[in-house]
Structure formats: C-alpha cells, structure tokens
Amino acid sequence: METTSVRAFHHYTVGGELAIEEPEIIARNIESVSCRWCGHGREVEVLTDEA
C-alpha cells in the first residue's frame, strides 16, 4: 500500500469540467508490499531504474 500527498491547482469551468494543473508530489510512503494474487509479500523483489 502506498500513501501519496500531492499539491495541485484544481480549476472548474462554468460547465463543471475539471482541469488539474501543476501536480507536485509532496510526500510518498510505501507502507507495505503484497502480491496481488497470493496475498503475501514474502518473495517480492525490489527493482530499480538503474541500468
């Protein structure tokens, strides 16, 4: 499970349509990791973007 705090500007038109501008991630916290199919995270492997 991940919790993310985001700051953004929300603009609504007169017709009620929403436009979200300049989203900025303020905080990100990975609380737990589990497998979608088996339900546990015992064999979850961490991958990085490093090549």
Is 38 a residue whose pLDDT tops 60? yes
- The count of domains in the chain is 1
- For the record, the structure tokens of 40 come out as 């546990």
> Quick one: average pLDDT of 3-27?
94
For residue 31, the Cα-to-chain-centroid distance in whole angstroms is: 12
Can you tell me whether residue 48 is helix, strand or coil?
Answer: coil
Overall pTM > 0.85: no
Range of the structural domain that residue 13 is part of: 1-51
